[in-house]
Amino acid sequence: MKQKTLKTKEYSFTVVYEPLKEGGYKITVPLLSGLISFGRTFEEAREMVRDAIRCHIESLLKDKEKVPKENGLVQEKITLSIS
């Protein structure tokens, strides 16, 4: 009997970790609008957002929708002086 091979594809997304004043992190994924996760520690935050991204992508694929790609993303930190 021939075994079925599962295809895997790798996806990459930029995530933003925002420290919260009460502790922990809020994580957003700019390319996946509305995807927000939280974690008590940086490690937990990373694990939580990876799981949230995985669920989101699996849902898109199940619904036969396109998975967005980061083409030409430019990220910059801007510092301003205001008097």
pLDDT in tens, 51-83: 999 999 999 999 999 999 887 777 778 888 998
CA distance 66 to 50: 19
Classify residue 71: in a domain, yes or no: no
Of 9-23, 26-40, 67-81, the least confident: 67-81
State the chain's maximal CA–CA distance in angstroms.
Answer: 75
pLDDT of 4 higher than 90: no
Report how many domains make up the chain.
Answer: 1
Structural domain span for residue 39? 16-62
Classify residue 69: in a domain, yes or no: no
Classify residue 48: in a domain, yes or no: yes
Arithmetic mean of pLDDT over the chain = 91
Classify residue 28: in a domain, yes or no: yes
CA distance 29 to 18: 11
Classify residue 39: in a domain, yes or no: yes
CB-based contact 25:4 (threshold 8 Å): no
Classify residue 1: in a domain, yes or no: no
